[in-house]
Structure 1
Amino acid sequence: MQANVYDISQPVGLSHAALTHGFATIVVIAVFGRISGGHFNPVVSWAMVLCQQLPPLAFPFYMASQFFGGFAGNLLSACLQRKRDFLVWENYSTIDYFLPRDGIEFGYDKVHNSTYQKTILLTTQLAATSSGITHLGANHQWWEGLMSETITTYFFVTVILMMVVDREPGEGSALIIGMMVVVNIFATASITGTAMNPVRALSPNVVAEIVLSSSSLPDKFWTYHYIYWAGPFLGSTIAVIGYKLLLSKNDRLIP
């Protein structure tokens, strides 16, 4: 799977991303859930460890498998694309560094006009869409990205815990979990791409490093990557704490 930053002024692109990720989540959970639990995400596996639903020793093996799957999928995607599709990153880097940053606020370039700002957002969208590269959205601060990933992962993991841990997973569980993915992407795709998954954020970036030379990548390519690890793991941990304190049907700590 790939995490993309989308310009919210382009509703078709955003809808495509949200529905594609949501439907993919529904399918893989419905098909493979009975075999491994259908985690496909280290923070979900981490939540299951904290809830005693997965042995701690199994966690590193789950995470390694998830990274291998994400890396293989993104590498295959890169092989099917023309290399020039990745080179839009060079355009992104040039536009991002040479426009007067002080004149940009809330999606508008007050020094020139809105056309310049739209160019930045459009190039960001093209870069993310064509290669799956994960990065902090234009004109967003690191703390906004961290909060976005933490909050969306919190709701995502809470839904999983309520649908899977509290009761036997039913046929509707995958649908509800997938719909939560759709809602989260619609809400925060323009900020971080709504990864909610460290491996999903890491894999396409590693592939981009292989396909492109480092000189073709902007400085912010790795600068804020930590938010895709800290945010999801923090959100997952908070979700488990809230679940155990208030939401668990059988053994919540606060009746």
Structure 2
Amino acid sequence: MVFAGCGSVVVNLNYEKVVTFPGIAITWGLVVMVLVYSLGHVSGAHFNPAVTIAFATCKRFPWRQVPAYIMAQVLGSTLASGALRLIFTGHENRFPGTMPAGSNFQSFALEFVITFYLMFVISGVATDNRAIGDLAGLAVGSTVTLNVLCVGVISGASMNPARSLGPAIVHGKFKSLWIYIVAPILGTICGAWVYNIIRFTDQPFHELTKSGSFVRLTRSSGTSRSSNSS
């Protein structure tokens, strides 16, 4: 995810902005969508430490697995950022991380809002078996694209601590990094809990959170709809 997303940023900076800002937003959305569909049945489509932590707070994901997932996410981001730095050397060595364009408060607020929005959507398509599971990847990827288009030029639209940590570690740029760790975690936790509070269903909560992946949710949703039709 980071290789494709940050790669589009580096290419855009080095080659006369050929990718364009909307192109970068679409790249992030597409890579998230592709990964959800290709790996959702393997790992539950967890590419974001903030999302993993938010699911754990809702008892949607086991706490004992959280450290391993976060380490894998940060390691993957760091390796991807390192690969980009090795490929684009010299004057092409550009920082593809996230930095506030305005004040820290402004970026913190924006990161909180967009991660709240992202987690609200994820909770809707991934923890509620009444949702159309086949569209989970499209819904999440579209949300990422929308968020980048809305606030990318101001805060960088990280939404993901690992996405910001990898480039920061490789390039040694840690200024305002705390924003992209704290705000997404708070935003996703609030987004997950707000969705759980406003959901309306007669089914017990544990019945809505049995599945650990988008694919299994899709199958269970299909079975449920078939039974209801019968």
Counterpart of 2:123 (choices 161, 176, 191) is 161
Residues 40 and 143 of structure 1, relative CA distance in 2, 3 Å threshold: same
Partner of 1:200: 163
Partner of 1:113: none
C-alpha displacement of 1:156:
0.4
* Bigger shift: residues 44-53 or 140-149: 44-53
Q: For the residues of structure 2 that align with 1:38 and 1:49, how far apart are their CA atoms?
A: 14
C-alpha displacement of 1:82:
1.7
Q: For the residues of structure 2 that align with 1:206 and 1:44, how far apart are their CA atoms?
A: 21
What whole-Å deviation, never above 9, does each CA across 1:158-216 have from its counterpart, x for those lacking one? 1000001112772210011000000000000011110000110010111112xxxxxxx
Contact 1:244 1:251 in 2 (8 A): no
Describe the SS at the equivalent of 1:184.
Answer: helix
Partner of 1:18: 25
Amino acid at match of 2:175: T
What whole-Å deviation, never above 9, does each CA across 1:202-236 have from its counterpart, x for those lacking one? 10111112xxxxxxxxxxx4331111011101101
Are residues 1:145 and 2:107 paired?
yes
Give the number of aligned pairs: 194
Percent identity for Structure 1 against Structure 2: 24
Q: For the residues of structure 2 that align with 1:191 and 1:11, how far apart are their CA atoms?
A: 20
Are residues 1:39 and 2:46 paired?
yes
Residues 203 and 148 of structure 1, relative CA distance in 2, 3 Å threshold: same
Counterpart of 2:91 (choices 76, 80, 84) is 84
C-alpha displacement of 1:51:
2.2
Amino acid at match of 2:145: V
* Structure 2 unaligned spans of 5+: 206-230
Describe the SS at the equivalent of 1:223.
Answer: coil
**TM-score scaled by structure 1?**
0.70
Residues 80 and 35 of structure 1, relative CA distance in 2, 3 Å threshold: same
Are residues 1:182 and 2:189 paired?
no
C-alpha displacement of 1:154:
0.3
Partner of 1:214: none
Contact 2:115 2:184 in 1 (8 A): yes
After superposition, the CA RMSD in angstroms is 2.4
C-alpha displacement of 1:132:
1.1
Partner of 1:224: 176
User: Larger Rg: 1 or 2?
Assistant: 1
Q: For the residues of structure 2 that align with 1:39 and 1:248, how far apart are their CA atoms?
A: 26
What whole-Å deviation, never above 9, does each CA across 1:33-63 have from its counterpart, x for those lacking one? 0011011000111121122221101001100
Residues 11 and 239 of structure 1, relative CA distance in 2, 3 Å threshold: farther
Contact 2:58 2:193 in 1 (8 A): no
Q: For the residues of structure 1 that align with 2:18 and 2:99, how far apart are their CA atoms?
A: 20
Moved over 3 A (4+): 2-7, 248-252
**TM-score scaled by structure 2?**
0.78
Counterpart of 1:241 (choices 161, 169, 193) is 193
Amino acid at match of 1:134: T
Amino acid at match of 2:97: I
